[in-house]
Amino acid sequence: MKFSWKVFFLCMGVYLLTLVTAAVLVTEGTYYRTLQKEIRRSLDEENSFYFTLTLFLTANQREGGGINLEEYGQKVLSLVEANQTYLEIYNEDLDLLASSTPLGKSWPFERKDLKQALSGERNYVLRWKDKEHYLFINEAIKVNESKLVLSLVKNITYLDEQKKEQYLLFFRAGLIGLVMVAVVTGVMSKIMLKPVKQLTETVKNIAAGSYKERVKVKAGDEIGLLAEQFNRMAEEIESRIKQLEEEGERKQRFIDNLTHELRTPLTSVIGYADLLAKIKYDEEVFRKGLHYIYAEGNRMLKLINSLMDLILLRQNAFELRKMPVLPLLNEVRELMQFKAAEKEITLRVEGEDREVAMDRDLLKGALMNLVDNALKASEEGKTVILGVKTRGVNTCLYVADQGKGMEEEEVGKILEPFYRVDKARSRREGGAGLGLAICQEIVRVHGGRIEIESEPGKGTRVKIII
């Protein structure tokens, strides 16, 4: 069942329950109060009859005349003129002497209330007969040495009719209200559940692959909060999907590059080996062929060693110790000074000393790789800087050159294995494109990250944030 129907039936149920409860409480309460009021009024009326009859009886006794009870009863009945109000008079044996009930109505039930009145106790009782409701009020009157029982009978069926009419009024008003509530609930449920439908449609679109889809719901209630959280979740999903796609692309580029790096030397090795096997012995050709086979085999060995280094860095745990940074930078400068001098490039160390938890040999290897790249990218007469500075609670080691720089697209890929900005130069110098990937793993071991800033024609700054 749809949620909108659940809301609709819930509202209908609450409305009907409220209506029935209100109808019962109001109607029954009104009926009870009206009945009690009618009983009190009838008791006062009976009391008035009682005193009137007592005075009438006392007056007759003073005149000294004898009293015929039946005649007395008929005279008393002439005093009753109220509609739906009847009077009955019984003798001491509870025989009916006179009655104003229509057609001399006889009651089909035992009149214990008369016996109770005869014993001197005034009482009233409610009874039903032929779908009519009666109130009986009974009281004894003393006549000489005997007693008469006066019974006032009141037809109060009209009270039950009023109760039925009130229930019918509630029923009619309830039907009208039910229709109005149904219409209002239907309209309001559609308005209130519209954001939920939008959310459902957005979920379907996202499930179908449209990760840029967002819920356009602006509300300050729980649904608005749900929509806001859903949009955040969708953004996170889109970000994760994008990361997975980029990771997939990187892996595919890694496989393509690795295949290419292995295929090239193997092709040379196989080609020269096949050539040497087919031609007649020529010392010059054999020496040249063996040289190429050795060189390409050596390049493959370096590639495999670099890959092994990369794997070991990802799997091994290293012990880090706090050590000063400037001595390390100066040592790197001294080690790379000879290569810098060949290109007439100045190596300079700057910054204030800081202590960093490090594996000295690993971090030295990473810095030497970065300086080597900076020297390769720089022209004669330029300067390469090794520096250290404070960055909040972190320490930033950096290598900055004044070389060719890189495009933004290349900066995003430079840390990938086998990626080379200048593929021709790198291959000429024996690079496989694994240097920065190994540097990144070394920095990861130190709990840091690498950031690269570069601009074509202005140089590159590689920062190690630890």
User: Which H helix or E strand runs over 186?
Assistant: helix 157-207
Does residue 351 fall inside a structural domain? yes
Q: Is there a single domain that holds both residue 255 and residue 345?
A: no
Does residue 68 fall inside a structural domain? yes
CATH number at residue 117: 3.30.450.20
Q: Is there a single domain that holds both residue 144 and residue 157?
A: yes
Please tell me the distance from the alpha carbon of residue 98 to that of residue 80, in angstroms, as a whole number.
Answer: 12
Does residue 208 fall inside a structural domain? no
The answer on pLDDT for 185 being more than 70 is yes
Q: Would you state the structure tokens that stand for residue 153, as one six-digit string?
A: 């009978």
DSSP string covering 34-54:
HHHHHHHHHHHHHHHHHHHHH
CATH number at residue 428: 3.30.565.10
DSSP 3-state assignment of 417?
Answer: coil
DSSP at 280? P
Please tell me the distance from the alpha carbon of residue 429 to that of residue 422, in angstroms, as a whole number.
Answer: 11
- pLDDT confidence of 62, banded at 50, 70, 90? low
The 10s digit of each residue's pLDDT in 102-123 is 655 677 888 888 889 988 889 9
Please tell me the distance from the alpha carbon of residue 250 to that of residue 452, in angstroms, as a whole number.
Answer: 18
- pLDDT confidence of 423, banded at 50, 70, 90? low
Does residue 205 fall inside a structural domain? no
- pLDDT confidence of 34, banded at 50, 70, 90? very high
The 10s digit of each residue's pLDDT in 192-208 is 777 777 777 888 887 77
Q: Is there a single domain that holds both residue 295 and residue 394?
A: no
Please tell me the distance from the alpha carbon of residue 311 to that of residue 393, in angstroms, as a whole number.
Answer: 30
Q: Is there a single domain that holds both residue 290 and residue 333?
A: no
Does residue 184 fall inside a structural domain? no
Please tell me the distance from the alpha carbon of residue 90 to that of residue 98, in angstroms, as a whole number.
Answer: 7
Q: Is there a single domain that holds both residue 43 and residue 62?
A: yes
- The four Cα atoms 251, 256, 258, 260 give a dihedral, to 10 degrees, of -170
Helices (H), 316-349: 326-342
DSSP 3-state assignment of 151?
Answer: strand
The 10s digit of each residue's pLDDT in 357-407 is 888 887 888 888 888 888 888 888 889 999 999 888 889 999 999 888 888
The answer on pLDDT for 426 being more than 50 is no
**Cβ–Cβ under 8 Å, residues 137 and 46:** yes
How many domains does the chain divide into?
A: 3
User: Which H helix or E strand runs over 453?
Assistant: strand 449-455
- pLDDT confidence of 32, banded at 50, 70, 90? very high
Q: Is there a single domain that holds both residue 323 and residue 457?
A: yes
Does residue 256 fall inside a structural domain? yes
Q: What pLDDT was estimated at residue 247?
A: 75
Q: Is there a single domain that holds both residue 137 and residue 245?
A: no
- From 282, 316, 350, give the residue that closes a domain: 316
Q: Is there a single domain that holds both residue 130 and residue 269?
A: no
Q: Is there a single domain that holds both residue 118 and residue 50?
A: yes
Question: What is the pLDDT of the chain when averaged over all its residues?
Answer: 80
CATH number at residue 294: 1.10.287.130
- From 259, 293, 316, give the residue that closes a domain: 316
Please tell me the distance from the alpha carbon of residue 164 to that of residue 167, in angstroms, as a whole number.
Answer: 5
Q: Is there a single domain that holds both residue 341 and residue 285?
A: no
- The four Cα atoms 203, 209, 210, 213 give a dihedral, to 10 degrees, of 30
Please tell me whether the overall predicted TM-score, pTM, comes out greater than 0.85 for this model: no
Q: Would you state the structure tokens that stand for residue 53, as one six-digit string?
A: 């009859």
Q: Is there a single domain that holds both residue 158 and residue 31?
A: yes
Classify residue 408 as exposed, middle or buried by CB count within 10 Å of its CB (0-12, 13-18, 19+): exposed
Radius of gyration over alpha carbons of the chain, in Å?
56
First to last CA, the chain: 57
- From 292, 316, 340, give the residue that closes a domain: 316
Higher pLDDT, 234 or 282: 234
Which range among 70-84, 201-215, 324-338 shows the weakest confidence by mean pLDDT?
70-84
Largest CA distance in the chain: 179
Higher pLDDT, 62 or 148: 148
Q: Which range marks the domain in which residue 117 is found?
A: 3-163
Does residue 235 fall inside a structural domain? no
Q: Is there a single domain that holds both residue 346 and residue 452?
A: yes
Q: What pLDDT was estimated at residue 178?
A: 86
> Residue 103: which of 137, 129, 125, 138 has the closest Cα?
129
Does residue 203 fall inside a structural domain? no
Per-residue HEC secondary structure of 243-269 comes to HHHHHHHHHHHHHHHHHHHHHHHHHHH
> Average pLDDT, stretch 264-280?
75
Q: What pLDDT was estimated at residue 399?
A: 92
Higher pLDDT, 420 or 128: 128
DSSP at 429? T
